[in-house]
Structure 1
Amino acid sequence: MTSTGPFGPLEFQLVLLRRMADHHPELVEGARHELGVSLADMREANRRWQAMVRSPRSRSAAARYRSVLGEPERVVRRRIGDLECDALLWPVVLWPTLRFEVMTAPGGAVWNEWLVRAPGGTGPELRTAEDLRPWSCTVDEVARAFPPARPLPGTAPTRTGLRFTLPDGGIRVAEFTWGLLQRWTE
């Protein structure tokens, strides 16, 4: 990979992995090898992504995702309260049962971007805390499996927290990166 070539879906997946390496370097290492790229390639992809995001001439977030990932595989209109928005979904090679989802408000402003289960796909059966393994489930899946659940601020950009209740009444806090479970604590 070179810094002069186009920035596409492969490079974007390296950006996702870069932030996940903070929690699970061993999983990231395996994924990197599966993609056939070096650690230097991952760093370079992240550098280029950050430059795109921070550029004073940067295009809108939605336009940036379209330029990097192409046209979405699917666009789904959703109603959240009084707001109608669009969910743009792209496949990701590393996680074939997931999609990268970008939620856009009217006017095209991006207000959420993360990994979700592919439409019609089934996630893992989540019954106990032991079922919550890194990279196995999404924010929405944990929230549905263990109500009541409450979103928490993330500890860094692209991170999300979730406070949830186990069937035995125990309270746990999960941390997600790009919407994918990384860890949980009591």
Structure 2
Amino acid sequence: MTDAQPHRFGPLDFQLVLLRRMADHQPELVDDARRELGVSLAEMREANRRWQAMTRSPRSRGAAARYRSVLGEPESVARRRIGDLECEARLWPVPLWPTLRFEVLAGPDGTVWNEWLVRAPGAAGPVLSTVADLRAWSCTVDEAARAFAPARPREGSAPTRWQLELTVPGGGTCVAEFSWGLLQRLLP
């Protein structure tokens, strides 16, 4: 990634942005993933800096156009109904997590409603039957919510973080925290 000329911000850089937020809770997993991608800590920070600059620029294009320019054409696009609202679900592969896809839900006017990692269509999800199965990077928000229903959404600690209060077998609850839709940790 390092060279004298600035390079186009692309899928590798975007994966580094995802990892940067996850590093707050899973630094060891992020370091392993970063090494697998062949990039330094400084390169990860630079990718995140560039992403933040793109999202905050007064000349910034909308989120939907930004994802398309960074990730290319979606692997798939499907109409989806959520309650009374119809949206478009756009999915992109994420090479670091081959069984996941980055999903952007966009409203009829193109406004991005949600953006996170989901299980790829047709990919087997994890077996989640006990709290011990809830390990970092093991499942998505939707998978945890289905496995430990009823689940109650809670406000996350940052814009790309979600929390779910899950009902655990035998009674009681626990709170799971997700970054970009991927489980990071259980809160005490």
User: How many residues matched?
Assistant: 186
Provide the rounded CA distance (Å) in 1 between the counterparts of 2:167 and 2:83: 24
Taking the TM superposition and a 5 Å limit, the aligned residue runs for 1:32-51 are 32-51=34-53
Tell me the TM-score normalized by structure 2: 0.97
1:164 corresponds to:
166
| 1:61 aligns to 2:63 (yes or no) | yes
Percentage of matched positions with identical amino acids:
75
Q: Which runs of 5+ in 2 are unaligned?
A: none
2:72 corresponds to:
70
| 1:175 aligns to 2:181 (yes or no) | no
Provide the rounded CA distance (Å) in 1 between the counterparts of 2:162 and 2:137: 14
- 1:120 CA displacement: 1.2
Select 1:21's aligned residue among 23, 28, 53: 23
- 1:76 CA displacement: 1.4
Q: Which runs of 5+ in 1 are unaligned?
A: none
Match for 2:90: what amino acid? L
SS of 2:58's partner is coil
- 1:167 CA displacement: 1.7
Taking the TM superposition and a 5 Å limit, the aligned residue runs for 1:1-186 are 1-2=1-2, 4-186=6-188
Match for 1:28: what amino acid? V
- 1:185 CA displacement: 2.8
Q: Deviations over 1:13-55 (max 9, x none)?
A: 0000000000010000000000000111101100100000000
Match for 2:131: what amino acid? A
- 1:157 CA displacement: 1.5
Provide the rounded CA distance (Å) in 2 between the counterparts of 1:161 and 1:39: 27
- 1:114 CA displacement: 0.3
Which one is further off, 171-180 or 1-10?
1-10
- 1:170 CA displacement: 1.8
- Shift >3 Å, 4+ stretches: none
Provide the rounded CA distance (Å) in 2 between the counterparts of 1:117 and 1:154: 21
Match for 2:29: what amino acid? L
Provide the rounded CA distance (Å) in 2 between the counterparts of 1:28 and 1:184: 17
Provide the rounded CA distance (Å) in 2 between the counterparts of 1:163 and 1:140: 12
SS of 2:135's partner is coil
SS of 1:123's partner is coil
Tell me the TM-score normalized by structure 1: 0.98
Match for 1:103: what amino acid? L
